[in-house]
Amino acid sequence: MTDRTDKSLAAQYEAYPYPPRDAREEAKRLVVGSPGHLLEIDYWVFGAKRPTSLPLRALFAGGGTGDGTIMLAAQLAQTDRDARVVYLDRSKASLKIAQARAAARGLRNIDFVEGSLLDLPNLGLGLFDYIDCCGVLHHLPDPAEGLQALLSALAPGGGMGLMVYAPHGRTGVYMVQDALRALTPESEKPAARLEVARRVLRHLPASNWLRMNQIITDHVIGGDAGIFDLLLNPRDRAYDVTSFAALLGQVGLAVTCWMEPIRYDPQTYLPDPRLRTLAAGLDPIARAALAEALCGNIPMHVVYCTREADVAFRADPMADTAVPVMRELPGQTLASAIRPDLVVPLVFDGLQLPLPLPRQARAILALVDGKRTVADIERDVAAAGVAPEAFRSAWSELWSRLQPINRLLLAATNQACV
């Protein structure tokens, strides 16, 4: 399903591939984020129960300039996993950038396909264990149709990582979009529209909500592509928790994780015991919606999801054979950030959340390397004088604090974890 707006959108991404990327930057950094991170897929989609020895097929539907594709392909190559990543996008310009980035890294585990995700049922690409669709659904004429197309390519037991825009954290964006639509309609040439947008941005009054929004920066640091994608996009929907969950439910998908979980827990923002009791009586979606309304600074929703019938139980973090792993930040680095009062200061889009940790946190975190099992860590801290019961209590508390911020997960292993 396409329409005139969809054609304008396609032309936009040919002229201004987004996000702007330069293959020469691959020598300096790997762009890392959610969804699509290998450790997150292993844990939030498969519960750390899918053996790493099983082949993995991943699809990036609407891969853009390649952030997710390059990230996952690089992580799979680094861990020597038997896997193929398929990049799919209808923008020739974006595809060329993604290919150049893969070449700069010497990645050979990616297949590049030009096409629309809406054509997935007819492309003959086969089935995928993991499908990533980041920043695409909210631009489609019919997002439910897009989800159905993705589902047609999802293997039994597989899962997805999705991102859509959220309204509260994007406060000000849609007001400026309305202003620009009045001053420079979609029918004008892109260069002319950009020139008007730059003029408007220079003269936004101090009272303008976009000026006050410190979360949204594409129009400041994203160049022409950033301005166009944020403020001149011909179709840009935003979903709150309730409407996004309804969209997913419409096609039979169930959320396994709202990223990061702590942000979608209303108790994060409600120290009052009475209010906590009231919030605890809500169903999970209503609780997440309440948290979104309370914090007010979530600019996008990132979820991992599976078919409703395929939601799997996660491996037990207290099991002796479980293998804890830090996502990106090494355990020793996090341990060094613990203050004398045993609190780690967290910041989510400007919102500061103090995170208290157990007394044994430093000793335990220093041993979390993605290889040691829980039993190994218990043995090693015992040598430092930590009794088994003290370790188990501290480990349970540490897990309950760090898993919801997506920093401490369980690693998948060659053997299915319990």
Question: CA 300 to CA 148: how far, in whole Å?
Answer: 21
* Averaged pLDDT for residues 253-267: 97
> Angle at Cα 36 formed by Cα 33 and Cα 41, nearest 5°?
120
Number of Cα atoms under 13 Å in the Cβ half of residue 299: 18
307 forms beta bridges with: 253
Q: Is 390 helix (H, G, I), strand (E, B) or coil?
A: helix
- Closest to 162 measured CA to CA, from 184, 197, 180, 138: 138
Q: Is 166 helix (H, G, I), strand (E, B) or coil?
A: coil
Report the percentage of the chain scoring pLDDT > 90.
Answer: 90
pLDDT at 162 over 90: yes
pLDDT at 30: 97
Question: What is the DSSP code string of 196-246?
Answer: HHHHHHHT--TT-HHHH-SS--HHHHSHHHHHHHHHS-S------HHHHHH
Tally of domains in the chain: 3
Note whether 227 and 254 are same-domain residues.
Answer: no
Report the percentage of the chain scoring pLDDT > 70.
Answer: 99
* Domain end (from 287, 310, 333): 310
Mapped to the 3 state alphabet, what secondary structure does 116-156 carry? Answer: CHHHHHHHCCCCEEEEEEECCHHHCCCHHHHHHHHHHCEEE
Q: CB of 301 within 8 A of CB of 166?
A: yes
Note whether 196 and 112 are same-domain residues.
Answer: no
* Averaged pLDDT for residues 39-58: 97
Question: CA 17 to CA 25: how far, in whole Å?
Answer: 16
Note whether 117 and 39 are same-domain residues.
Answer: yes
Backbone angles phi, psi at 371, to 5 degrees: -125, -45
Note whether 161 and 111 are same-domain residues.
Answer: yes
pLDDT at 7: 87
Note whether 251 and 306 are same-domain residues.
Answer: yes
pLDDT at 408 over 60: yes
What number of residues does the chain have?
418
Flag whether 416 is in a domain. no
pLDDT at 417: 52
Q: CB of 401 within 8 A of CB of 374?
A: no
Flag whether 400 is in a domain. yes
- Which of the four pLDDT bands, split at 50, 70 and 90, describes residue 286? very high
Averaged pLDDT of the chain: 95
Q: CB of 168 within 8 A of CB of 216?
A: no
Flag whether 317 is in a domain. no
pLDDT at 85 over 90: yes
326 forms beta bridges with: 408
Digit-coded pLDDT (tens) for 110-154: 999 999 999 999 999 999 999 999 999 999 999 999 999 999 999
Number of Cα atoms under 13 Å in the Cβ half of residue 152: 16
- Closest to 210 measured CA to CA, from 167, 175, 182, 240: 175
* Averaged pLDDT for residues 45-56: 97
Q: Is 109 helix (H, G, I), strand (E, B) or coil?
A: coil
Question: CA 64 to CA 70: how far, in whole Å?
Answer: 11
Pairing of strands 300-307, 253-259: antiparallel
Is residue 279 within a helix (H) or strand (E), and if so which, with residue range? helix 273-280
- CA distances, 302 to each of 208, 239, 240 (Å): 27, 11, 12
- Which of the four pLDDT bands, split at 50, 70 and 90, describes residue 384? confident
* Domain end (from 206, 231, 256): 231
Question: What is the DSSP code string of 298-343?
Answer: --EEEEEEEEGGG--PPP-TTSTT--EEESSS-HHHHHHT--TTSE
Note whether 33 and 178 are same-domain residues.
Answer: no
pLDDT at 311: 82
Note whether 214 and 292 are same-domain residues.
Answer: no
Q: Is 392 helix (H, G, I), strand (E, B) or coil?
A: helix
- Closest to 307 measured CA to CA, from 240, 239, 248, 243: 248
- Closest to 36 measured CA to CA, from 4, 72, 64: 72
408 forms beta bridges with: 326
Question: CA 286 to CA 314: how far, in whole Å?
Answer: 23
Structural domain for 344, as ranges: 324-410
* Domain end (from 288, 310, 332): 310
pLDDT at 358 over 60: yes
Q: How crowded is residue 22: how many other Cβ atoms within 10 Å of its Cβ?
A: 12
Backbone angles phi, psi at 217, to 5 degrees: -130, 0
Say what angle helices 190-202 and 4-15 make with each other, to 10 degrees: 80
pLDDT at 212 over 80: yes
Q: CB of 159 within 8 A of CB of 130?
A: yes
pLDDT at 68: 98
Note whether 133 and 68 are same-domain residues.
Answer: yes
pLDDT at 1: 58
Digit-coded pLDDT (tens) for 6-19: 888 888 999 999 99
Pairing of strands 408-410, 351-356: unpaired
Q: CB of 299 within 8 A of CB of 165?
A: yes
What CATH number corresponds to the domain at position 359? 1.10.10
Q: CB of 269 within 8 A of CB of 295?
A: yes
Note whether 11 and 132 are same-domain residues.
Answer: yes
Q: Which residue has the tokens 């906590």?
A: 276
pLDDT at 303 over 80: yes
Digit-coded pLDDT (tens) for 390-406: 999 999 999 999 999 99
